[in-house]
Amino acid sequence: MKSCLICKQNVEAFLPYKNGLASFSALTRALNIVGSDVENFHCPHCCSTDRERHLFIYLSFVPELLAGLAGARILHFAPETYLSALIVNQKPLEYIKADLHSRSADVQTINLQEIGYPDGYFDVVIANHVLEHVNDDRLAIAEVARVLRPGGHAILQTPYSAILPSSVTEFTAPSETTRELLFGQSDHARLYGLDVFSRIEQSGLRFIGGHHAQLDIAIDSALYGVNKEEPFFLFQK
């Protein structure tokens, strides 16, 4: 029996992403990508994903960050339904939901590579599994750093290979077949390597997150359907 942290229901099993690990190429599997738990992806009751459940866990174990959402200006890319509700409950001063291709009236159309807000405007920027999709991630990261106030926080979860020294980006015309073989998904523009943390820190953001053990998170990751190998990508300006 497993348990969903979001809908608070017990489940026999979480549902896989597509066909789980079998959906990915042998190369992708060999690279041991750290990211979503593709075998325990969707909750069968509320349809929450493991990446959303994982942020719930991380926020609950960094209480000062969750409390800091109250009265804050927050920019949230590709906003997840339940995470958005959690944020709204904290009563932020301003909460901007954003997406490159907005399909909802309450979500602004904003390109992560060109955020139309002044320098230092936001206290928190959230982009949960977004950076791997953008064409120019260095520009996107620089934009995140620009719109954050000094001392502000960025949550920038993204898949990466723990055995790949350097990130791999496809600079040629996109090929769905190539991207699926190399990156695991046809809409991913790159696969980050172990340089992902220094790559983000080059923009002036400092990594202050870490893995479960580093953050004193003692939970049964199998019970809650999250990947314990995925660190909290928490950065501070």
Indicate which CATH number applies to the domain containing 120: 3.40.50.150
Residues belonging to the chain: 237
User: Count of domains in the chain?
Assistant: 1
Domain that holds residue 100: 2-236
CB-CB contact of 181 with 33 (8 Å)? no
Q: Which of these ranges, 48-52, 157-161, 179-183, has the smallest mean pLDDT?
A: 179-183
Q: Residue 129: what pLDDT?
A: 96
Phi, psi (degrees; rounded to nearest 5) at 75? -115, 125
Task: Label residue 177 by pLDDT band (50, 70, 90).
Answer: confident
Q: Which of these ranges, 115-129, 137-151, 158-172, has the smallest mean pLDDT?
A: 158-172
> In whole angstroms, how far apart are CA 108 and each of 18, 64, 105, 133?
29, 28, 7, 18
Q: Is 23 exposed, middle or buried (0-12, 13-18, 19+ CB in 10 A)?
A: middle
Question: What's the rounded Cα separation, in Å, for the pair 84 and 80?
Answer: 6
Percent share of the chain, pLDDT over 90? 75
Q: Residue 170: what pLDDT?
A: 80
In the numeric block, the tokens 């695991």 are attached to 184
Q: Supply 139's token pair.
A: 């520009």
Q: Residue 196: what pLDDT?
A: 97
Q: Model's pTM, two decimal places? A: 0.95
Confidence check: pLDDT of 193 > 90: yes
Q: Which of these ranges, 47-56, 79-88, 179-188, 227-236, has the smallest mean pLDDT?
A: 179-188
> What mean pLDDT do residues 72-88 have?
96
* Residue, of 145 and 37, whose pLDDT is higher: 145
Q: Could you give the angle at the alpha carbon of 46 between the alpha carbons of 112 and 60, nearest 5°?
A: 65
Strand partners, 94: 73
| CA-wise closest residue to 183 among 156, 166, 161, 155 | 161
Task: Label residue 173 by pLDDT band (50, 70, 90).
Answer: low
Percent share of the chain, pLDDT over 70? 100
Confidence check: pLDDT of 165 > 80: yes
C-alpha 74, offset from chain centre? 15
Cα-based torsion angle of the residue sequence 29, 137, 122, 128 in order, rounded to the nearest 10 degrees: -20
In the numeric block, the tokens 């590579």 are attached to 113
In the numeric block, the tokens 């750093």 are attached to 145
